[in-house]
Chains A and B, each alone.
Chain A
Amino acid sequence: AQSVTQLGSHVSVSEGALVLLRCNYSSSVPPYLFWYVQYPNQGLQLLLKYTTGATLVKGINGFEAEFKKSETSFHLTKPSAHMSDAAEYFCAVSSPLFTGGGNKLTFGTGTQLKVEL
């Protein structure tokens, strides 16, 4: 079975500071990994994904994440936080060996990012 752990349910940073949101996964095979963002009263929006190839993945709004197999991690970073980045962020994993059809994602419990002036 696959699982996702997001360390820190709430993270607070100053505007202009580095954003680091942590995600560790458990999977018996190399997984497909996703980061989603959820703004208040909205659905989830894809930030970026890792499937194969380059382990440093760039996404929308200046975010990027690095897949580190040895550490089973997929942490999300942004060099300089903006007030508009305040939202909840979800890491998710999908196993490429799922043969029953569909893309069954397992989500972490989310990290609420607060950006302060």
Chain B
Amino acid sequence: NAGVTQTPKFRVLKTGQSMTLLCAQDMNHEYMYWYRQDPGMGLRLIHYSVGEGTTAKGEVPDGYNVSRLKKQNFLLGLESAAPSQTSVYFCASSGTGSNQPQHFGDGTRLSIL
């Protein structure tokens, strides 16, 4: 049972560098989400997708881009990393409907120097 898998688990970047975080789910879920978690702030939604080929902005989308080319994958990109993007990033997926729980990956710990 892989569930939701995130790669990489850790990464250190320099300011201005770019990178892509990969999320893969094997539960055939339609919906996928990217969150960031910062101390004392809970989880905040960055972008989400309600199906292959669709994406939408969440609560804190600035500085990030996403793509959902395949149903099972959801990519989060940082085009020009900034220290304010140092955080733990979580991917989640869920079935359709607001009563469906989200299933989370183990996170990517990203530091921007």
Contact = CB atoms under 8 A, between A and B. Distances in A.
Contact of A104 (B4, B45, B107): B45
Interface string B38-49: 001111110011
A90 B43 contact: yes
A27 to B, nearest CB: 11
Contacts of A94: 98-99
A111 B40 CA distance: 9
Q: How large is the interface on B (under 10, 10 to 19, 20 to 34, 35 or more residues)?
A: 20 to 34
Contact of B104 (A44, A52, A103): A44
Contacts of B8: none
Interface of A is mostly: loop
A108 B43 CA distance: 8
A90 B31 contact: no
Contacts, number: 74
Contacts of A36: 104
Contact of B42 (A51, A90, A96, A97): A90
Given A44-B90, A90-B43, A110-B42, A105 B99 contact: no
Contacts of B1: none
Contacts of B45: 104-105
Interface of B: 4, 31, 33, 40-45, 48-51, 56, 58, 90, 92, 94, 96-107
